[in-house]
Structure 1
């Protein structure tokens, strides 16, 4: 199995759409917070909440991806062991 067939390749249009939607959503939320008719402390609190939400979302997606990748590696190792055992048994 080649390394290219194991990786999931995304089109440049998909990558652009993901980044654009991320930037638009963060910008729109930040602009909404800036123009809220509340005092600076409330805006600061909401901005801090936005920053922590984005950071924790990135951490969650990375952790989820890492768990998925580690399961794939373990699965491939188990598959290789089984193939080795079968080839030794058939010899």
Structure 2
């Protein structure tokens, strides 16, 4: 029987991702805040930045959900195959 080992992210990877996201978001916020343009342009860029951030979170959730569905389907298929193999008797003769 093949066992699927779940992939675990390390703490260092999670910290690196969080720090990277925080730095990039902070740099963009500071850049928009100090941009030498009018308030309307600054507000438009801020809303655009907010839209990019929320869509990135949504995309990552969709990718994660699809991966989890694939893993569940794989486990169900593996369980069905294991059951069929356990019930199969190669020496059984039908009709006798």
Q: Which residue of 2 aligns with 1:34?
A: 33
Q: Unaligned stretches of 5+ in structure 2?
A: 91-96
Partners of 1:18 and 1:53 in 2: CA distance: 17
Q: Which residue of 1 aligns with 2:86?
A: 87
Q: Choose 1 or 2 for highest CA Rg.
A: 2
Number of residue pairs aligned between Structure 1 and Structure 2: 88
Structure 1 vs Structure 2 CA RMSD: 1.6
The structure carrying a bigger helix percent of its residues is 1
Q: Which residue of 1 aligns with 2:12?
A: 13
Displacement over 6 Å in runs of 4+: none
**RCO higher in 1 or 2 (8 Å CA, sep ≥ 6)?**
2
Q: Unaligned stretches of 5+ in structure 1?
A: none
- The TM-score normalised by the length of structure 2 is 0.84
**Mean Cα displacement is larger for which, 24-33 or 8-17?**
8-17
